[in-house]
Amino acid sequence: MGIEVKVEGLTKSFGKQQIWQDVSLTLPAGEVSVMLGPSGTGKTVFLKSLIGLLKPERGRVMVDGVDMARSPERDVMEARKLFGLMFQDGALFGSMNLFDNIAFPLREHTKKKESEIRRIVMERIEVVGLLGAEGKLPGEISGGMRKRAGLARALVLDPQIILCDEPDSGLDPVRTAFISQLLIDLNTQIDATMLIVTHNLDIAATVPDNMGMLFRRNLVTFGPREVLLTSEEPVVAQFLTASKAGPIGMSEEKDAATLAAEASGGAPAPVRRELVPQLEPSPGLGERKAVARRRERVLGMLDTLPASAQAAIRSAYGRDVLEPTAVLPRGGAL
pLDDT tens profile 122-151: 999 999 989 999 999 999 998 888 989 999
Q: Is 40 helix (H, G, I), strand (E, B) or coil?
A: coil
* Full DSSP string of 126-189: HHTT-TT-TTS-GGGS-HHHHHHHHHHHHHTT--SEEEEE-TTTT--HHHHHHHHHHHHHHHHH
- Closest Cα partner for 27 from 61, 56, 52? 61
Return the bridge partners of 5, or none. 27, 63
Residues present in the chain in total: 334
Positive or negative: CA dihedral 150, 148, 4, 39: positive
Global confidence as pTM: 0.87
Max distance between CA atoms of the chain, in angstroms, equals: 79
Of residues 323 and 92, more confidence is placed in 92
Strand partners, 25: 7
261-283 per-position pLDDT tens digit:
555 555 555 556 678 899 999 99
Mean pLDDT, range 83-105, rounded to an integer: 89
Percent of the chain with pLDDT over 90: 63
Q: What is the DSSP string of 272-284?
A: PPP-PPPPPPPTT
CA-nearest of 93, 211, 82 to 154 is: 82
Which CA distances in Å does 219 have to 23, 49, 215, 307? 6, 15, 6, 21
SS3 217: coil
Contact in structure between 143 and 125 (CB atoms under 8 Å):
no
Q: pLDDT digit string (tens) for 218-249? A: 999 999 999 999 998 888 888 888 888 788 87
Is a pLDDT exceeding 80 seen at residue 154? yes
Q: Is the pLDDT of residue 260 over 70?
A: no
